[in-house]
């Protein structure tokens, strides 16, 4: 950014760890519209609207019947009389899992696929293991279940190829998952037909860095099945790709920036934690980011927006260790658009000579802060240097200035915080976006401090 505020696995047999199997649960909400016709004295309404629910389960067969398998580490089966032996893989061996079945626990018809994912460790070992379902290759063939229907039992086997050489000795893989991905099927009808959900897409379940980065490049709906250490990698949302990531309660740790959003790319995210230890969480270069929830922590700005970018925050917790939580660097020619409807925003400062800030409106940006709670430690709430900003009545700003910092910069603007600065307007640098369109609409209870 142009300002300092935006710094950035014969003798030894292979051991194959008992695989962890997980289930993807997909909830689909169908919404309707209430109609009413009015006269001058009476009105008529429709029956109550009840949303359907899509819920898929995975069960295993035991001596006592079928039981839930989603929270278990499933064990490969040994031949009768050899149950106590270790499961060591060698060329030509075949191991199978307990019999499984998919069940529809919801009241909507669904379609599903079974896949193996999440390979970790010596991934090349998996290249010489052939996985089958009922002795047929796992080919992601689509299956269907009616509401509350139980699927037919199936058995997954792994066969180590006879041609596997000595270079596969002592290798191991773990993190293996049997994942059921499901989405709604074209069975139920609305007022017209049953085709309204024919394009319902399957989610992509990811557990590794490569799975995540590849899925993002392809676009679509992505669900995390494990915590992921991105290291120096990042995800890149290409131009004209629409990506939705359900963090699913998992954590992603990254050394630098978590997500780069290219021009006209879109990222929607929710439901977990992202920690960026050195830079931003979202580096938005002319794309769009929608955050519906989660916990996001960055060394610098959590949300960094450059010319033409869009950001919508509907919820979540955002913590900046040393910067503004949300910061723009829009040009005078192409500003950014920010809408904050809710969330908790924690701003802190570490760099000497600077102060913390909740939202930094740098240039010809359009900003609507309709809600949210801003906790500012040694700094100010919102800085506006150009553009068009509206502060709503539900915004809460809490300034926690402990007296150790008297003043400091946001960008190149030095601000005195001995007097509380909830909303600050600074036009002293005459940014290019500072023109006749510059406007602040303040519907909050906080007063504006001006620097001219």
- Assign 85 to helix, strand or coil: coil
Closest CA to 446 of 416, 423, 426, 417: 423
Query: Does residue 312 contact residue 347 with C-beta atoms inside 8 Å?
Result: no
Q: CA 175, CA 208: separation in Å to the nearest integer?
A: 9
Q: Is the pLDDT of residue 182 over 50?
A: yes
Count of CA atoms in the C-beta half-sphere (13 A) of 294: 24
How much is the mean pLDDT over the chain? Answer: 82
Written in H, E and C, the secondary structure of 197-239 is CCCCCCCEEECCHHHHHHHHHHCEEEEECCCEEEECCCEEECC
Q: Among 60-64, 230-234, 298-302, where is mean pLDDT lowest?
A: 60-64
| Strand stretches in 277-387, DSSP E | 282-284, 288-291, 295-298, 303-306, 310-313, 317-320, 324-329, 337-340, 344-347, 356-361, 366-377, 379-384
Q: Among 47-61, 168-182, 255-269, 426-440, where is mean pLDDT lowest?
A: 47-61
pLDDT (tens digit per residue) in 148-172: 899 888 888 889 999 998 988 888 7
How does strand 303-306 pair with strand 282-284? parallel
Residues 6+ apart with CB under 8 A from 63: none
- Assign 419 to helix, strand or coil: coil
Q: How far is CA 109 from CA 31, 54, 102, 134, 420, in A?
A: 16, 8, 13, 24, 57
Mean pLDDT within 272-283:
95
How many Cβ atoms from other residues are within 10 Å of residue 68's Cβ? 12
Closest CA to 350 of 398, 313, 298: 298
Per the rule left: phi > 0, alpha: psi between -120 and 50, beta: everything else, 273 is beta
Q: Token pair of 46, please?
A: 């429709």
Most confident of 4-18, 105-119, 155-169, 433-447: 155-169
Closest CA to 255 of 214, 294, 296, 298: 298
Query: Does residue 276 contact residue 252 with C-beta atoms inside 8 Å?
Result: no
Quote the pTM value: 0.71
Q: Is the pLDDT of residue 80 over 90?
A: no
Q: How far is CA 118 from CA 71, 97, 145, 159, in A?
A: 16, 17, 25, 18
Q: Is the pLDDT of residue 381 over 60?
A: yes
**If 0-12 CB within 10 Å is exposed, 13-18 middle and 19+ buried, where does residue 26 land?**
buried
Closest CA to 169 of 351, 11, 303: 11
Sign of CA dihedral 78, 80, 84, 85: negative
Q: Among 132-146, 223-237, 291-305, 390-404, where is mean pLDDT lowest?
A: 132-146
Mean pLDDT within 93-122:
81
How many Cβ atoms from other residues are within 10 Å of residue 186's Cβ? 16
The secondary structure of residue 343, as a DSSP letter, is -
Phi, psi angle pair for 258, to nearest 5°: -75, -55
How does strand 204-206 pair with strand 273-276? unpaired
Mean pLDDT within 365-371:
96
Closest CA to 267 of 251, 301, 234, 291: 291
Q: CA 236, CA 267: separation in Å to the nearest integer?
A: 10
Q: Token pair of 13, please?
A: 């047999």
pLDDT (tens digit per residue) in 289-347: 999 999 999 999 999 999 899 999 999 999 999 989 999 986 767 889 999 999 999 99
- Assign 106 to helix, strand or coil: coil
Query: Does residue 20 contact residue 117 with C-beta atoms inside 8 Å?
Result: no
pLDDT band of residue 194 (cuts 50, 70, 90) is low
First CA to last CA across the chain, in angstroms? Answer: 24
Torsion angle of the four alpha carbons 264, 269, 273, 277, in this order, in degrees rounded to the nearest 10: 0
């Amino acid at each position: 950014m142009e300002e300092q505020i935006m710094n950035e696995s014969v003798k030894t047999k292979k051991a194959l760890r008992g695989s962890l199997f997980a289930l993807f649960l997909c909830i689909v909400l169908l919404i309707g519209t209430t109609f009413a016709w009015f006269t001058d004295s009476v009105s008529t309404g429709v029956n109550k609207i009840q949303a359907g629910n899509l819920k898929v389960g995975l069960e295993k067969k035991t001596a006592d019947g079928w039981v839930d398998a989603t929270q278990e580490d499933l064990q490969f089966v040994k031949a009768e009389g050899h149950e106590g032996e270790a499961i060591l893989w060698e060329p030509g061996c075949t191991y199978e899992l307990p019999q499984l079945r998919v069940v529809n626990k919801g009241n909507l018809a669904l379609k599903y696929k079974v896949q193996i994912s999440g390979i970790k460790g010596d991934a090349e070992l998996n290249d010489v293991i052939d996985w089958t379902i009922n002795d047929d290759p796992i080919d992601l063939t689509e299956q269907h279940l009616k509401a509350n229907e139980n699927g037919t039992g199936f058995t997954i086997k792994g066969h180590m190829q006879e041609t596997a050489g000595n270079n596969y000795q002592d290798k191991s893989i773990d993190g293996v998952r049997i994942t059921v991905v499901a989405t709604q099927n074209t069975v139920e009808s609305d007022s017209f037909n049953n085709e309204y959900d024919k394009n319902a897409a399957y989610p992509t379940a990811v557990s590794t860095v490569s799975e995540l980065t590849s899925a993002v490049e392809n676009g679509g709906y992505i669900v995390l099945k494990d915590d992921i250490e991105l290291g120096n990698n990042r995800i890149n949302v290409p131009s004209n790709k629409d990506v939705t990531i359900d963090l699913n309660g998992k954590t992603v740790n990254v050394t630098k920036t978590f997500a780069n959003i290219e021009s006209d790319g879109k990222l929607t995210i929710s439901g977990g934690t992202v920690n960026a230890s050195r830079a931003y969480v979202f580096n938005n270069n002319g794309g769009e980011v929608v955050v519906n929830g989660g916990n996001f922590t960055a060394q610098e700005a959590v949300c960094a927006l450059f010319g033409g970018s869009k950001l919508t925050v509907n919820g979540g917790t955002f913590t900046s260790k040393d910067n503004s939580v949300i910061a723009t660097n829009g040009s005078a020619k192409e500003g950014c658009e920010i809408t904050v409807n809710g969330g908790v925003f924690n701003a802190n400062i570490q760099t000497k000579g600077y102060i913390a800030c909740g939202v930094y409106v740098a240039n010809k940006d359009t900003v609507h802060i309709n809600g949210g709670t801003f906790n500012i430690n040694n700094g100010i709430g919102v800085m506006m240097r150009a553009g068009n900003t509206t502060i709503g009545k539900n915004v809460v700003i809490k300034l926690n200035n402990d007296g150790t910092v008297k003043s400091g910069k946001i960008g190149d603007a030095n601000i005195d915080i001995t007097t509380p600065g909830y909303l600050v307007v600074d036009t002293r640098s005459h940014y290019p976006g500072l023109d006749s369109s510059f406007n602040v609409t303040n519907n909050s209870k906080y007063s504006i401090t001006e620097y001219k």
